[in-house]
Structure 1
């Protein structure tokens, strides 16, 4: 099982940080993400919304399973290649000084059909790097 935890304090209000990070278009700031968007069959952004994307070596479909702006949201990978057994990813937004502290946690395994332990070793190195890049891009976009 892989448990990822990335965090950053961003000098911007929680509502703006939440909105920026909840928009799948901004996932494209990750080095490996090529496309990310709301799925065509998705309900409006919020609870139940579906995000899809392509990354180098990965296709994913995620459902927003908890949505509490501007405090937190949780997503679940419901389809992917390679396969993920995803327990969920949660972004939590906490007021800190003049900014917002973001905690991003995700827990998953790769079943044998998705590359098993070898894929876990690779993704455990690549995903935190990409999560951090998204948080850095958010700070760059929103900080004065």
Structure 2
């Protein structure tokens, strides 16, 4: 099992509930838009991982967009990588957060859960992603809504 992050957007729960009143094609269109947003972000995260450390570079190909109504990104999986053929799941946390006992990873940055590339990249890009998602919602509602 990998790590999935879904972008947290204020009011998203209510917005998605309102989408239940629209035709199914409206949700499909929103999924398409959210997937495009996620794919752009996944490229940025892969780039950050690839340039971060050798272990992070091994994880980079396992970072991908997940199709959902909210921007969503998945990292990890059972695919085996590296010289010792370890599953991505076994190295992704150490590659992103570091470790205190395992010397193959960089040092852990502390209790603040500060990471090296995954969450920090998402956090930096979050305002832009929220704005893009909001514009996509507006476009879908204009097209499929009754008003």
Return the TM-score normalized by structure 1: 0.39
Instruction: Name the structure with the higher helix share.
Output: 2
Bigger CA radius of gyration: 2
Q: Which structure dedicates a bigger proportion of its chain to strand? A: 1
- TM-score, structure 2 normalization: 0.39
RCO higher in 1 or 2 (8 Å CA, sep ≥ 6)? 1
